Each structure stands twice: as C-alpha cells, then as structure tokens.
Structure 1
C-alpha cells in the first residue's frame, strides 16, 4: 500500500477541529479520515491559531487552519503567480544553472521580482514542477529531495615529497591566482581505459577538459602540459593531485610546465574538493555510460564554455570566465 502525500482539504480540517473539540482520541480521528496520526499532529502544530493576548482562544480551527495553509502555499507558489519569472528560472535550470546560481544572479542583477533558491527547489519538487520533470535539471537529478550521501574514499600510497601539508598558505586559502587542481573523469570498464582530464583553477573555478587515451602517467602529464603551456607562468604556478598512479610522472610535468605538484594525503581526495565538485557538475554531460572514445574536442569545449559561463555563489555570482580574465590581467600587469 503506497503512502498518501495529498494535503488535507477544508472539509478534513473542519472535521479534525470538531472531533478534537469532542475529545475523540487521535487514533480514532486518523482512522475516520484515513490519515496517519503523525500527519494530523503535524497539521495541528503548523496551522494552530495562537492568540497571545487571550490565550484561552488559542486552538485549532478548521477555517483558520485552511487560511494559514493557503497563505503559506501562496508564498511557495510565487513562480506560478509570476509566469515571466518562472519562464526565466526554468530556462536557466535547463541551461545547467543550479537554483542557488539562479537566485543569486537575479539578486545581483536587481530583478523587480526575484526568488530564493529554496522557492525554486520547492517548485521543482511540487506537482507542477514534477509534471515538467524539472528535477532532471537540478544538480542531483533526484526525484525526491534527500540528504547527500557519504562519498567513498579511495587512494594509494604516495611519496610525501610534495605533500599537501607543505603547500603554502596563499595556495590553501585561495589568496593567489594560478593554482590548479586536477583529476581524471573515468567511464565504464567496457570502454577501456580512455578518460578525460579535468583541471580547475582554485581562485576562479575556471575549468579545462582534455581527452586521454589511457591512464598512463606520462601521456596524462603531456596532456596537462599541452593544455596549460599557452598560459603565462603566473597562471600556472602549481597543480594539486590525489595519489593515483596516473600522476606519478610529476617530474615530467614540473620540467615541461614549471608548475609545482602537490599531492593529497592518502585516501583524502576531498582535499582537492574544487575539482571533485566540478567533476560532479561534469557528470551531467559525461555520465559513466558515455563512450569516451566518441567524445569530440568540440563537445568538451562546449562543456567548458557552459561551466565557465555559469555564475557561482562562491564568486559572488560572477562567472568563472569573468573572474579568470580579471585575475589573468592583474597577474600579467603586475609581472609576477
């Protein structure tokens, strides 16, 4: 038997108020209404009338409860009451923006009517939003909201010569431009060992993607050198990796690029959380079932363009491309 999630209507609220006044047990009321007792207790708690001046008038009243419910729903249905705002929100959701990014950008642009990220989530998971399958465009792509699950941690033993614990504070605290994080985006084993390198600059969150034929370390490092050598030295100071064997040819990278490698502690990929977060975003366009041999450079460029043109909360709702250009110009002018 499935669980009923339908809201109480006015008739049910009036019966609940009348039967509670008659001192009927909650279990009996729940049985008569075909509702769970917890649902009725929650209803009475949320829509109870409270009179601070005349306390004895406080209580649960059917019509008053219905008005409180409708008032609360009106706030949550802001997008329905403003079709133009709804159209703009839905358009940006489909473009890959998160509710926080949409709400933050609207506030930054001083829209006449703006909405919070919570309003967008509520609408996406409402009956109207479900009918449009908006959950497919949310960051987690889940049919129902639920807490984020625990991540699995992997790692291998690695030399501590360039341990992340030795990384300067200006890198760790994002005070200096030109420090990157790197990881590989992997696919199903049936497609072989082909993968995609993901690179993210720590200050601007600017993303670069490139293809690899396999996980052999030296070719992976060659890909990094090829992708970053077009930038001036202040824009490629260091790269932080996990301790995967695909990154053991770090000496080749250092010689070819002049960038200092840093390595996370064993089983601690969360220490390069910027690229881990970016990989989650990339999975929307490159799920594990993707055949990596069929990915074109043009498609990877389009993914980067979309990620780098999407406003980020951590950047004050500016885009990674905007911040990257600004920081690059500052670094070049200062001659660092």
Structure 2
C-alpha cells in the first residue's frame, strides 16, 4: 500500500496557481510529479483555497470573454457617437456622463479602444484623426502671449552675463502692494543704473 505524503508549502502554492489558470488535476499532478489522487486529496483537505482558486479562474475567464459595452449597448453607443461628432474628446464624454449622473458610466479608455478597434463607425475614426492633427498643429503654432523676434536669455552675450560690458539693460515690471500700482523698470547690468516709470 503506497504511503500518502502531503504536499510541501511550495507545491501547494504552485498547485493553487495552476488551478487558478484552469489546469486539470491530472496536469497539475504531472507537472509536480505527484499522483492525481495526492493532488485531489490536498484540494479536498483545503477546500476553501481550491474553491477560491477555481472562482478566480472562472472570473478571469469571464472577463476575457466580455464584449465591449459600446458594441452591445445602443444607448451608450449613441451617447458617445453624438458627442464625438460634436468634436468632444473621450475624456470630456466620460466626465460629462458622471456629471449628468447617467445610468451608466464609461471610461475614456473604453472609448479610445472602441475607436481604434473599429467598433464605432469609420467616420468617427476620421473625426478623431482630424482632432489629433488640429491639436498638434495648434500646439506647435500657438504663439499667443509671446513677443515676436525675441532672443532667449540663454543666448545673450557673455559681457552681459558677467557684467563686464556696459550697455546691457534688463527690464521688468513691479506690482505695488494691494495691487494699487504698476512700475516698469530698466536696469543697466554693469552699473546698476535704474530707470523706473509708472505704467497705467
């Protein structure tokens, strides 16, 4: 009569992980070089761990087969499509759904995946492509608030930086206490000569 030996802690952990991955008792036994009856007994002895492992496997399997909500829920699909046609971003759509306290919630990642995977109409993908191009062009050409034909401070002559040459001025504005007045200032860097004037 063969003598039954319990699995080691390491073997128990390995068997639990393999069970979570959906492997059969025979396959686990073969990998651990144990008899199927030994593996079966261990799972029966620790039925909670075995049940928990199997439950995790079934849940993961179910999640893998889950379909996109935008493919199977027409209400959510129409909500998203209508707003994408209005040039809303997925982030705006997701946030607006929360603010409006819709009966559903949808993440912007889900919307992006639906666009790129072809779940949504091809026209939506074209709209998104146009929005991305426009955004990039706007970010590279947006010069609002910039003074034209200026030279970066890092490119100023060494005589200005080390204050060895006269004639280099540095300008600034100074706001008074309680925001009651505004001054413009010009300071010659070598001599420290200051010119200040009130700004309206």
TM range (shorter): 0.3 to 0.5
TM-score (norm 2): 0.39
When you count helix as a share of all residues, which structure comes out higher? 2
- Which has the higher Rg, Structure 1 or Structure 2? 2
The alignment's TM-score, normalised by the length of structure 1, stands at 0.26
